[in-house]
A and B are shown apart, each in its own frame.
Chain A
Amino acid sequence: MKLKKDLAISDSGFLFNPSSGDSFSLNPIGVEIFKLLQKGESDDAIITLLLNDYAVDKNTIDKDLNDFKIMLTNHKLINA
């Protein structure tokens, strides 16, 4: 899964899709995951990094990451 390359995100979590004009607001963890996806990190790597930083179990992170990616797909922020 690859994010569209021209997406712009600010530190405050404001995400702008320049090809559609859509904008979104991400929470801090959303920003973190988004930036990791932008770097091309794998799902396993993202889950490992988040497990180190947050007191949460692997299943929850797995599910949240999956939900987040479904949202990105629905909003057409992923390359087809």
Chain B
Amino acid sequence: MLSMKSVKEKPTYTIAVTGLNAIDSPGPGVPVIRALRDATSFNVRIIGLSYESLEPGIYMHDLVDKVYQVPYPAAGTQVMYERFEYINNIENIDFLFPNFDAELFNFIKLEERLKKELNIHMLIPTMEQFEARNKTNLYEYGKKHGIKVPFAKMIYAAHEIPPLVAEFGFPLVIKGKFYDAKIAYTAEQAMQHFNKISAQWGLPIIIQEFIHGTEVNVCGVSDGKGKLMGAVPMRKLYITDKGKAWAGVTISDKKLIDMTQKLVKETKWNGPFELEVMKTADDEYYLIEINPRFPAWCYLPVGAGQNQVESTVNLVMKNNPVYFTKYEVGKMFIRYSYDLIVNMNEFEQISTFGEL
């Protein structure tokens, strides 16, 4: 006898991803794409978005279906919108993963327009959330939400350092507004770091209390309604001279997960994030930084049983998103670099036409 069973077909989404670079501080684009390729609840066509012609993700044809160059964030939202309009006319993008802190401002500004006019969806923090977790505001942010953050002050001139030394003692941390952090053990070092970082990243500079301990990080995603969709804590096992993880392991840390849950509930964080946390010898947790996007190690949670990238897409596309509560402890990632061999005509194509 003939029988028929209704089988729901998997949807196919066209997903655009930035952050295809992979220097020793790699972008999260390639790991986000790997997670998307591993998704079991949908099929995917990947559109890579690059800023420069030497971003390796451009040439990874087994991961990326088509690549378009996009203008630098400094070009402004209108130029960016017009480029997306062009790309969308060809590709019909369903979802977009911005993976750089520096581009998020523009994407937050464009979010409604991209959604309404081009039907491109994202899951990103609101402007208020994005600004509040900014390094320059983090101390106040922690105070507001009952989370410990190292004491910090913003300064605009080197002569403001000596009075702070009396307040903080040594060592202390000198941080750039967007990037870079150095530890100073003497007043001379503090001045040097101030000059170097301010020359590269501008003012203000953040002077922060140094917390002794072990750095632990959390990769997570939240639904914007105060509920955590997934969170995996990781301890770095091997770091580069820039402090980036080159190997890491998932750890069991209930206190850290509780802190993450509290933060998400309090702030109603929307979208992916990475928490950088310092755990002291007395088991105190200090929030060092919130990155408003998936980190470059976001494929480790996939290996540990949480495809947070897949859930992010499913939440927005209303495709039965999974809210993860478990993950495998003791799962490791070990990063490596790999020399792609690329034909000059491909480099020519992306450099000249902005598409590959």
Task: Pick from B169-177, B222-230, B249-257 the stretch touching chain A.
Answer: B249-257
Cβ contact within 8 Å between A6 and B330:
no
State the Cβ distance, A20 to closest chain B Cβ, in Å: 7
Q: Which residues of B contact A16 (CB under 8 A)?
A: 330
Main secondary structure of the interface of A (DSSP, over half): loop
Cβ contact within 8 Å between A19 and B330:
no
> How many chain B residues touch the partner (CB < 8 A)?
12
Task: Tell whether A70 is near chain B: CB-to-CB under 8 Å.
Answer: no
Report the Cα distance A6→B235, complex, angstroms.
17
Query: Would you give the 0/1 interface string for A2-42, flagging 1 where the beta carbon is closer than 8 Å to chain B?
Result: 00001010000000101111000000000000000000000
> How many chain A residues touch the partner (CB < 8 A)?
7
Task: Tell whether B329 is near chain A: CB-to-CB under 8 Å.
Answer: yes
Q: Which residues of B contact A18 (CB under 8 A)?
A: 251-252, 329-330
Task: Tell whether B237 is near chain A: CB-to-CB under 8 Å.
Answer: yes
Task: Tell whether B119 is near chain A: CB-to-CB under 8 Å.
Answer: no
Report the Cα distance A8→B251, complex, angstroms.
13
Q: Which residues of B contact A6 (CB under 8 A)?
A: 252
State the Cβ distance, B187 to closest chain A Cβ, in Å: 34
Q: Which residues of B contact A21 (CB under 8 A)?
A: 234-235, 237, 248-251
State the Cβ distance, B137 to closest chain A Cβ, in Å: 30
State the Cβ distance, B102 to closest chain A Cβ, in Å: 30
Cβ contact within 8 Å between B330 and A20:
no
Q: Which residues of A contact B329 (CB under 8 A)?
A: 18
Closest to B283 in A: A80
State the Cβ distance, B247 to closest chain A Cβ, in Å: 10
State the Cβ distance, B239 to closest chain A Cβ, in Å: 13
Report the Cα distance A6→B251, complex, angstroms.
11
Task: Tell whether B214 is near chain A: CB-to-CB under 8 Å.
Answer: yes
Q: A8: which of B235, B237, B330 is its contact (CB, 8 Å)?
A: B330
Q: Which residues of A contact B249 (CB under 8 A)?
A: 21
Report the Cα distance A20→B330, complex, angstroms.
10
Name B residues whose Cβ lies closer than 8 Å to a Cβ of A.
214, 234-235, 237, 248-253, 329-330
Beyond A8-B330, A16-B330, A21-B248, list 17 extra A-B contacts (CB 8 Å).
Answer: A6-B252, A18-B251, A18-B252, A18-B329, A18-B330, A19-B251, A19-B252, A19-B253, A20-B214, A20-B235, A20-B251, A21-B234, A21-B235, A21-B237, A21-B249, A21-B250, A21-B251
Name A residues whose Cβ lies closer than 8 Å to a Cβ of B.
6, 8, 16, 18-21
